[in-house]
Structure 1
């Protein structure tokens, strides 16, 4: 009989461990949790403490609780083990799943921002300024062309009226060879530029990025500037509110800082985004 009870107690302990081990395995995955981070260290600590408490309670029941009511306590403990095991599992998995969702959605958003940035830079190169809205930018992509040019050095002599002699003049001659459509140059036959204004994974499928265009004075010259942005609330609208609040306060070289994802700036001449280099590396690997 005693041997049977020991087996039963062992089963109870294993139930708790079984519920938590999948979370431990995934939470240690380097793809979703950075090695050495607080989240990676917190997970095994929670597991060890939970198992120690579970085993301690089992022995406490065995030593303190009267023999007649031990079966009732054992059943209560089994249910409690399952309940708290489930809760601990969720507490471990929630940040891991949040990060997986975040990285997937941020990647799609950043890819759109890159397309918008490339289109705006092409607009500035050809027209001298940035498109004021998405309609103008899309129209530009569909109709504008890049000039394919060839540069070559040349020289000629010119009579100098002051010194009364011929002087050698060196010049750069630019020949226009042909034209290439902006659409083909930037998007290589794809029509994704027609959807780049829309925020991926937003609650409203027609939610668009916020785009602002302005000009600033830099060293006495007027320079055009632009900024395209979207709030993290829009991208992660259906995620855990506490984790979303933490995400909006994050400041790290390995994360997207602040409350929004953006490219460009209205305060300085810049076409950079506020995302880390990891999103650039992941994008290059996918293209390979």
Structure 2
């Protein structure tokens, strides 16, 4: 029985290690952490060091500690193993939890950006330009109307005086049937548009998106452009700082690129966002 407790602790250490391996595997997934990053290397290093220390302590107890006090050391070692095992597990699972929380917050942010984009496109359709700020955009939503039109193709013949023959001419006639409020068309009569300017999950619940409007020359014509954006640090401010720094350097078609989440552009005519199609699919599922 004299070595039973020490052997038990040794077995417990290895069992704990094998229980941590699935979490370690998840943490090394390229979709969770960037390959070669500090976060990707940190978790296996912690696990290896912990196992080496655990085995070293067991050998030390076996050779140096008197038998009478070995039970005390065994209990302390057992408690320490549980404590550090929990810490290692939390360290390994941190990227997984970060990814889950990040995607939840990004979904809410992108939902608002889509509302702003749709409102700006409606503003341009009716007025020819984008709204310069959120106040103007909200006033537009509350007062503007879409014209409901009907297209009719018509054709008739006319005498061409040059060629001295009858020719067929086709035209499209637009008939205005009625008008529909922009608010009802885009927001189904709700007041969701009043909250779309605020950044979800920001530390300050009154934090607004940054919206800029300008114009550029395209093929000799002046074209209006807009961009609405928010820094990722404002959305993920309370999450792991190492993982947050890694997130701001992301360049991938499967993730939100760069330091910010945005829709539109001031450099080209575009109403696209920098998020992957997975967020579009998720939005459709919620509808």
- Counterpart residue number, 2:242: 242
Change (3 A) 1:41 1:228: closer
SS at the partner of 1:2? coil
SS of the equivalent of 1:207 reads coil
For residues 95 and 168 of structure 2, what CA distance do their matches in structure 1 show? Answer: 71
The CA deviation at 1:121 is: 0.8
Check 1:247–1:36 CA distance in 2 against 1; reply closer, same or farther (3 A cut).
closer
Q: Tell me whether 1:56 sits opposite 2:55 in the alignment.
A: yes
Mind listing any 5+ residue stretches in structure 2 that lack a counterpart? none
Offset at residue 61 of structure 1 (A)? 3.8
Cα distance in 1 for partners of 2:194, 2:52 equals 58
Distance 1:25 1:286, change over 3 A: farther
1:24-35 pair list within 5 angstroms = 24=22, 28=26, 34=31
Q: CA deviation at 1:99?
A: 1.3
The alignment's TM-score, normalised by the length of structure 2, stands at 0.85
Relative to structure 2, which stretch is displaced further, 172-181 or 99-108? 172-181
Partners of 1:150 and 1:133 lie apart in 2 by: 33
After TM superposition, the score normalised by the length of structure 1 is 0.85
Q: Which sections of structure 1, spanning at least 5 residues, go unmatched? A: none
Q: Judge conservation of contact 1:24–1:44 (CA < 8 Å) in 2.
A: no
1:57: how far off? 3.5
Q: Please tell me whether the aligned partners of residues 9 and 58 of structure 1 are also in contact (alpha carbons under 8 angstroms).
A: no
Q: Which moved more, 1:63-72 or 1:137-146?
A: 63-72
CA distance in 2, matches of 1:61, 1:74: 11
The Cα shift of 1:96 comes to 1.6
Checking the alignment, whether the CA contact within 8 Å between 2:131 and 2:137 is kept in structure 1 is yes
What is the deviation of 1:141?
1.1
- In structure 2, the residue matched to 1:233 is 233
1:81 aligns with 2:84: no
Shift of 1:197: 0.5
Instruction: String of CA shifts for 1:28-72, please: whole Å, max 9, x gaps.
Output: 49xx98489859997995797478537633652464234435335
| Residue aligned with 2:255, SS | coil
For 1:129, the equivalent position in structure 2 comes to 129
- CA–CA distance in 2 between the matches of 1:55 and 1:203? 41
Q: 1:36 to 1:216 in 2, by over 3 A?
A: closer
- For the structure 1 residues 48 and 241, does the alpha-carbon distance in structure 2 shift closer, same or farther, using more than 3 Å as the test? closer
Q: Is the 8 A contact 2:10 2:58 kept in 1?
A: no
Query: When the two structures are aligned, how many residues end up with a matched partner?
Result: 284
Aligned partners of 1:165, 1:57: CA distance in 2, in Å? 105
